[in-house]
């Protein structure tokens, strides 16, 4: 029997043993039978330790995502509910950079949570843009329109580069509606 077939069968038996689909002594017998005296016990231990490490890594990632979303919500509310001008903008900017850095690392690992961090970063950047407009350019509504078009352009190009359809669609729709609003109400 080929080594690949043996490994498939041994993995299946280990799955049965782990999920208690067969009694443990049956599984041990089948492993000994198919292993034919080879050192399979070490491989089984390595596989189980890899699975435990992967589960721990997944739990940490979920915890980081939850903390990231809570941080985004708190920062967005801090931006609009405080009279302090400079501090929330700087903290939000740093948070955006950290989120994007983590998202880029997660994209390399093909994690499902990378897009969520990208969305949090995009919305936080939009909130920072609104706050900057509110503080410095409140009397100039056209600057707000340009900021919205800039944010939507970032979303569109990020979506095209990362092949994220929802970013591309939201950026295109945002630009379209904003330009329509600009022409309808200002021209």
Q: Return the pLDDT at 156.
A: 94
DSSP for 80-118, please give it: HH-S--HHHHHHHHHHHHHHHHHHHHHHHTT-TTHHHHH
What is the rounded average pLDDT for all residues in the chain?
79
CB 81 within 8 A of CB 120: no
Q: State pLDDT tens for residues 109-145.
A: 777 777 777 888 888 889 889 988 988 899 998 999 9
Q: Is residue 146 scored above 90 in pLDDT?
A: yes
Q: State pLDDT tens for residues 65-90.
A: 777 777 777 777 766 776 667 777 77
CB 61 within 8 A of CB 106: yes
Q: Is residue 42 scored above 50 in pLDDT?
A: no
Q: Is residue 91 scored above 60 in pLDDT?
A: yes
């Amino acid at each position: 029997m080929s080594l690949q077939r043996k490994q498939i069968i041994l993995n299946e038996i280990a799955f049965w043993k782990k999920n208690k689909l067969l009694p443990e002594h049956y599984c041990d017998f089948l492993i000994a039978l198919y292993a034919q005296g080879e050192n399979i016990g070490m491989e089984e231990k390595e596989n189980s330790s890899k699975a435990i490490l992967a589960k721990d890594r997944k739990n940490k990632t979920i915890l980081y995502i939850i903390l990231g979303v809570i941080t985004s919500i708190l920062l967005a509310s801090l931006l609009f509910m405080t009279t302090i001008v400079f501090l929330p903008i700087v903290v939000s900017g740093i948070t955006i950079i950290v989120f994007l850095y983590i998202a880029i690392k997660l994209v390399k690992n093909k994690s499902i949570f990378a897009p969520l961090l990208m969305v949090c970063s995009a919305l936080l950047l939009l909130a920072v843009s609104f706050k900057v407009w509110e503080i410095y350019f409140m009397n100039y509504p056209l600057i707000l329109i340009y900021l919205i078009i800039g944010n939507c352009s970032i979303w569109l190009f990020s979506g095209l580069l990362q092949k994220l359809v929802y970013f591309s669609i939201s950026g295109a729709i945002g630009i379209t509606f904003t330009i329509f609003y600009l022409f309808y109400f200002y021209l």
